[in-house]
Structure 1
Amino acid sequence: MKLIDDKGRIFNKINILDLLFIVLILFLVFLSVIKIFGANLEDLTATDENVNIEFTASIVMDKGYLDVINVGDQLGETKQFLDAYIEDVEVVEVMATNLDQNGNEVVSVDPTMEKAEVVISANVPYKNMSYKLGNQELRQGKIIFLESQFYRYKAQIESVKVVN
């Protein structure tokens, strides 16, 4: 008995094209069920594990706008508070590189800008090999939004570390 006979049937039972069509239909039904019930494929295998982390983010803004960030502020997302708090805020001057009249580089303080270096501690889920603060992924170099009851700033993550 051959695997595929002269008529293109597997074990003299079913045509190869019919088998491919049945597999395609089953795959489409599977995707439809996932779409209807709103589950992501990654959620089917992932386990949530909450981890305490501390990350540092920097915000560069016009002078005077960063004064509203205070130690102890609770961060949130879409009008919902998260388990994340500001531990330290340091506002520093922004250095700018310009050219003098001879074409030489001159490093000076930009009088219109300031930079806040913010340290945040949070209890976040570790899911699919990444830390999430609400819907935002936390990793070095990533741009995130720091949002509290009084402000919403775009910040760049400088470092992330797990604390016990």
Structure 2
Amino acid sequence: MKLIDDKGKIFGIINLIDLIVALLIILIIGGLVYKTQSGKNVAQLKEVYITVRVPNLLPDTAASLKPGDKLISGNYYTTDEIVDVKVSPALSVNTNSEGKMVLTTNPYRKDAIVLIKAHLDTSSPTVRMGQQDIRVGNQITVKTHFTVVQGEIIKVDVK
């Protein structure tokens, strides 16, 4: 039995041109289904401002956090960036001579408030920046080209 017979039919069953037309129609229908279904799952990125409190830093570490620095996730730069950094003397709780707890400042250590601008998908119940959940109270790693610090998210503002 020949692959294509004298009448141009494959295995004597279907014409070669008819097979090509049928495959083309199946591909077009499959492409349309894919396009209409995939559009429903497109992430809606919104501008999100994340305020992070980073306590008890060495002065040089605090100084290395600069507005404009791009954040890194894994080993790749992201579009997220630091937009503002406020550094102040670190707060600490100490016991005074009467045995009472008092809030004092550490003249050497620094606290930083870091404002991050990110473009994140806010359509799901868990908003994530890289592999980190973005929620007030969560610990977060702020990683730039030359600095990595741990802080706590104190505010999330979706624009």
For 2:57 and 2:130, locate their aligned partners in 1 and report how far apart those are by CA, in whole Å.
27
1:49 Cα shift?
Answer: 1.8
Alignment partners' CA distance in 2, 1:136 and 1:156: 12
Q: Give the deviation of 1:83 after TM superposition.
A: 1.5
Q: Distance in 2 between matches of 1:142 and 1:71?
A: 22
Q: Which amino acid aligns with 2:55?
A: V
Tell me by how many angstroms 1:48 deviates.
Answer: 2.2
Separation in structure 2 between the aligned mates of residue 124 and residue 47 of structure 1, nearest angstrom: 12
Residue 127 of structure 2 aligns to a residue in which SS?
Answer: strand
Distance 1:73 1:140, change over 3 A: same
1:157 paired to 2:128? no
Contact 2:56–2:90 (CA under 8 A) maintained in structure 1? no
Q: What letter matches 2:124 in structure 1?
A: N
Deviation at 1:112, TM superposition (A): 3.7
CA contact (8 A) 1:83 1:124 kept: no
Q: TM-score, normalised by structure 2?
A: 0.68
* Displaced runs of 4 or more, over 4 A: none
Task: Provide the residue aligned with 1:108 in structure 2.
Answer: 104
Distance 1:156 1:105 in 2: 23
The TM-score with structure 1 as length reference comes to: 0.66
Matched positions, count? 119
Q: What is the identity, as a one-letter code, of the residue corresponding to 1:161?
A: D
What corresponds to 2:83 in structure 1? 87
Unaligned runs of 5+ in 2: 1-39
> For structure 1, which runs of at least 5 residues remain unmatched after alignment?
1-44
Structure number with larger C-alpha Rg:
2
